[in-house]
Amino acid sequence: MAAKVYKNLIGGEWVESRFGQTFENQNPANTKDIVGIFPKSNKDDVNQAVEVAATAFERWRLTPAPRRGEIIYRCAQILQERKEDYARDMTREMGKVLKETRGDVQEAIDTAFYMAGEGRRLDGHTVPSELPNKFAMAVRVPLGVVGMITPWNFPMAIPSWKIFPAIISGNTCVIKPAEDTPLSTLNLVRALMDAGLPPGVVNIVHGYGPEAGAPLLEHPDVRAISFTGSSEVGRIIGQAAARNFKPCSLEMGGKNAIIVLNDANVDLAIDGALWGGFGTTGQRCTAASRVIVEKGVYNQFADKFVSRAKAMKVGAGIDEQNDMGPQINQQQIETTQKYVEIGKSEGAKLLTGGNRITAGGLGEGFFWEPTVFGDAHGKMRVAQEEIFGPVISLIPTDSLEQAVEISNGVAYGLSSAVYTRDVNKAFKAMRDLQTGITYINAPTIGAEVHLPFGGTKATGNGHREGGIGAIDFYTQWKAIYVDYSDRLQRAQIDTGE
């Protein structure tokens, strides 16, 4: 069967790239399966989409926010109806197991319902004026056209974190989805269009980063940029945005740790570390790639953890028997391979895994064994650098204080977790862990959409997605003074003295 051909969405029309170039979207579980053919766009396509979005902005910003919210609410309902189909599309293009892709669609549904409600809130504040018969308030206003560049690991959830808060606030947008997973973003936006979104409010331009993403940074009508992806690309984007005075939200890498203390429920911690480390095949910015275990329970933890990792079923995500799907592409699997070699040469003990899986009909996909290094220490590269694969390093530790120091001793600061039944230790950890998110007795993954999502240090540049932080990014404050005294009143001068 010929692969389906998909197009860009510009001004409500499905259009080819102006130069007619395309790229293939492959199934990472079987690269012979072509999910679709997508336009390989360039600067001209991006510029056209931005112009259309700038025109649409003039109407959309004047559409009452509660009306905007109703469209988003309908989109949530449509996504609920299509959840299973969209989850299956996502497993096919991205690889993660069905229960996770259902969760990814659910995250978009949750975000849509939450942001629909924001249409009747979007609150600012009123304050007293220092002058008589004068009214003062601060209101939120939209920015204009927002450019969005997104990664492949949450191909519907992450675009939803950006699109819904942006459009409820009155912005319009142009999104450049990851080239490995363009279909899920297209499905999300299709649901929005079917919900009645006016043409031009959300536009999609498919293609590769430097050709179809970078032009967003240079266009003068793009008023803000939201990026999720690697820290290397984030640096390029942040610098270009700064050069052009564009507000820019960067959400990047992580090297997250689960700390397991002697008094922890060890079995619970093992469940958490397996889910945190091997969920999404380790390809989450919140993945628990380090597990720091207090020495009193280290051997017990390591033995059980390794036998559970060995028992995991790896295979195509579409088969519900499997626990873990493939990695996204050849490059990602090569990175994993490289770090396994680095770990071995650094003296970490390979307890299980460490190889690509080709047997059992998996040779056409990017499958890697769940891999565990033992007796690692915090300064090893496998414990410092983001791998984005199913590789976990177990690090023995003497105390909570030392564990916190190891957890904090990396360039990133996204998520952290502590397993303990001691409330005093839990609170000290909550205070001292330098991450944007901390879990107690739960793994490093599992963010809910109405709380701030983001991290410290090289993970981000201070903005937050999720919750009200997203509205803060997609709006700017406008101060308004209304003088009803019928005379000239001069602030700071007519002080009444």
**Residues near ligand ADP, by CB under 6 A:** 149-152, 176, 178-179, 208-210, 213-214, 229-230, 233, 236-237
**Of the listed 51, 251, 369, 386, which one is catalytic?**
251
Give the integer Cα–Cα distance in Å for 165 and 213: 20
Tokens of 181: 């997973």
When the beta carbons of 171 and 228 are compared against ligand ADP, the nearer one is 228
Among 435, 445, 350, which Cα is nearest to 394's?
Answer: 350
When the beta carbons of 230 and 262 are compared against ligand ADP, the nearer one is 230
**Under 8 Å between Cβ of 68 and 60:** yes
Q: What's at 186, amino acid-wise?
A: L
Give the integer Cα–Cα distance in Å for 319 and 97: 8
Q: How far is the CB of 283 from ligand ADP (least distance, A)?
A: 8
Q: How far is the CB of 412 from ligand ADP (least distance, A)?
A: 14
Helix (H, G, I), strand (E, B) or coil at 370: coil
**Of the listed 75, 173, 248, 285, which one is catalytic?**
285
When the beta carbons of 72 and 233 are compared against ligand ADP, the nearer one is 233
**Under 8 Å between Cβ of 40 and 206:** yes
DSSP 172-229: EEEEE--TT-HHHHHHHHHHHHHTTPPTTSEEE--S-IIIIIHHHHH-TTEEEEEEES
When the beta carbons of 158 and 351 are compared against ligand ADP, the nearer one is 158
Active site residue 232: no
DSSP 34-73: EEEEEE---HHHHHHHHHHHHHHHHHHTTS-HHHHHHHHH
When the beta carbons of 225 and 260 are compared against ligand ADP, the nearer one is 225
Give the integer Cα–Cα distance in Å for 173 and 165: 11
β-pair partners for 457: 412
Tokens of 198: 């006016």
Give the integer Cα–Cα distance in Å for 347 and 242: 42
Tokens of 201: 């409010």
Pairing relationship of beta strands 371-374 and 349-352 according to DSSP bridges: antiparallel
Query: H/E element holding 391?
Result: strand 391-397
Among 196, 195, 162, 192, which Cα is nearest to 178's?
Answer: 162
Q: How far is the CB of 178 from ligand ADP (least distance, A)?
A: 4
Tokens of 414: 């996204």
When the beta carbons of 119 and 155 are compared against ligand ADP, the nearer one is 155
When the beta carbons of 209 and 409 are compared against ligand ADP, the nearer one is 209
By Cβ distance, which residue is nearest to ligand ADP?
209
Give the integer Cα–Cα distance in Å for 394 and 371: 11
Q: How far is the CB of 236 from ligand ADP (least distance, A)?
A: 5
HSE of 454, CA atoms in CB hemisphere, 13 A: 23
Q: How far is the CB of 189 from ligand ADP (least distance, A)?
A: 15
Q: How far is the CB of 46 from ligand ADP (least distance, A)?
A: 10
Q: How far is the CB of 349 from ligand ADP (least distance, A)?
A: 29
Helix (H, G, I), strand (E, B) or coil at 148: strand
When the beta carbons of 173 and 400 are compared against ligand ADP, the nearer one is 173
Active site residue 251: yes
DSSP code at position 314 = B
* Cα R_g (the chain), whole angstroms: 24
Q: How far is the CB of 430 from ligand ADP (least distance, A)?
A: 29
Among 291, 310, 282, 272, which Cα is nearest to 366's?
Answer: 282
* Residues classed as catalytic: 251, 285
